[in-house]
Chain A
């Protein structure tokens, strides 16, 4: 049975979001990482890039497929996980910690509350 952390909020497209102050950290779920199989490349924006809620912020590539990455909140990219450039497999091994992708300084933190709680994410993604 697939599971995901309860303290995070989700998009149906498998991105998780963690809120700390007005900063939202984004990555993809273990379910998505398993579906993609071995991740070989993560294309992330530069610090300072604006992102919009439900807008594409990057791309993830695995041995099997390429997928777009979406942000659930609007704001500006304040940090990028540089480790993924050399070690994209971190997303497979540790998607909720070492495999995080970007931090967004949220312009309207209220958007976080509108994202899917874990049970709805699991239901909507068919798990």
Chain B
């Protein structure tokens, strides 16, 4: 039995095609992936991201615990700030990538839907093993995923539109800043963040307020509407153009943050699970690095496609698509570090046929 988000009826009413995503029945597409992609780049789209995990940490030592398990130094975070961070295992492999937010009363960790159970187990295991005294810390974790809803509203016209609807000065919110407020006794949190390469916001609200919010934001859907619903299909092509990593593709338990190009999200001066191994990689330099590839022609190099230099396999594609904005075949791939320089000529092995590909600067797309 697949789980339904509080927006399920909204998706069905708008004719979305629903698919199983990490145990949730989610909209993959409403009108067309490219249509929804372009709507996001030109105007605005509403994405249901309620399936993502929302874990609350409260108590005197919550920050200390988070500092043991997260790669970023959360002690430097101020109330009203969110930060991208990683959770690693002892070998420095990535267990999940998360957004950590500090509110007045608690910490919020937003994690991938596919990793939510794993993360909760991981934290429990660390307490049981009393990792660096974790079990002696005074804090509580509660999983708020199913009592709340979350939407991402993304696109160049979103900030103006959302400013009209919410009693919050969204325009003055900094990137990765957030604010908590309420409308008619309904509490909500608005974050200036997203996963599309566009400006926009993400909203967390009580599950029971979701149907009304859906109607308000994109309920009267029609051609030319400022904000239209978009599915997971467009979310994937948008994040790939913006070169944002996706867990299960660019990130997994055997990939370390340095190889993934995420050194900026790791504070190697503090102690956290995995730090020792990650320091070793940072000192020696990664063997393989994540790069952007631009392929000749229209063929797509999908996850698992070997990357070749002459006759030798020198890497592997982690994500690929035909970029709707650039009208080019693009891919993210891990390649041997000495071949990761911009302009390096490589090839994607498409079922035995080498398709020329060159290393290009990331992100593929950057908003004006």
Binding site for B on A (CB under 8 A): 34, 37-38, 40-41, 43, 61, 63-64, 66, 88-89, 92
Contacts and interface: CB of A to CB of B under 8 A. Distances in A.
A65 to B, nearest CB: 8
Given A37-B32, A41-B322, A63 B237 contact: yes
Contact of B299 (A37, A61, A63, A89): A61
Contacts of A89: 34
Nearest to B34: A38
By secondary structure, the B interface counts as mixed
Interface of B: 17, 28-29, 32-34, 233, 237, 298-300, 302, 321-322, 324
Contacts of B299: 41, 43, 61
Contacts of B32: 37-38, 92
Contacts of A64: 28, 33, 233
Given A37-B233, A40-B322, A41-B322, A63 B33 contact: yes
Given A63-B237, A64-B233, A37 B33 contact: yes
A38 B302 contact: no
Contact of B302 (A34, A37, A66): A66
A37 B37 CA distance: 13
A61 B33 CA distance: 14
A58 to B, nearest CB: 13
Contacts of B233: 37, 63-64
A34 B322 CA distance: 17
A88 B321 CA distance: 15
A38 B29 CA distance: 10
